Structure formats: structure tokens, C-alpha cells
Amino acid sequence: MLAEPSVLVLASLMAGPKHGYALITDIEAQTGRRLGPGTLYGAIGRLERDGFIAPLDAQERGRRPYRITPAGKRCYEAHVEELKQYQRALKVLATS
């Protein structure tokens, strides 16, 4: 299972490539959670190492965007399904 910052990065990249600052602002806007640069770039490094994201050519002001890979999409979708199963299990436990 991925750590929360990695899941948030993958979720943001599902909408399209983004550079670090765009990831920070997107995640904060959508979740209210602000990832610090150390947390963000640590997650990016792990995701890239594991083949779940890939860097694109640097753009304006040297910003390097990242894109989600097919393996990253599969990982993200599996994580979402696991969370749905967990939610269903919690509902069952709460009513038994």
C-alpha cells in the first residue's frame, strides 16, 4: 500500500502532467492538505523509482513536469478499489 502523499500525487497526475508546485497547489485545493516540498519530492522520488510516474522535459523556468505511467494508473486504481473494500467492511462492522 502506498503512503498518503504518494496516493495524492498519483490522483493529481490522473488529470494530466504537472510540475511540483502545480501538484502542491492542486492537492491543497482538492483536499485542504498542503504537502511540503520535502514530502512532495520524497513521494515523487519513490513513485519515479517504482515506475509509477515519469518526468517530462523541463519547461518554463526549469520546472520539470511529471506524468503518470500505465503502471501508476493501475496502482492508483487498485488503491482506490482497496479503499472501497475497506469502506464496505467498515459499514458491515458498524451494523453488526
| pLDDT tens-digit readout, 14-29 | 999 999 999 999 999 9
What is the domain count for the chain? 1
For the whole model, what pTM was predicted? Answer: 0.89
Mean pLDDT of the chain: 94
Joined together, the cell numbers standing for residue 11 give: 490522483
Maximum CA extent, the chain: 57
Q: Facing residues of 53 across strands?
A: 68
| pLDDT tens-digit readout, 70-92 | 999 999 999 999 999 999 999 99
Asked if residue 30 lies in contact with residue 14, where contact means CB atoms within 8 angstroms, the answer is: no
Asked if residue 72 lies in contact with residue 47, where contact means CB atoms within 8 angstroms, the answer is: yes
CATH number for the domain spanning 40: value is: 1.10.10.10
Domain hosting residue 84, numbered range: 4-95
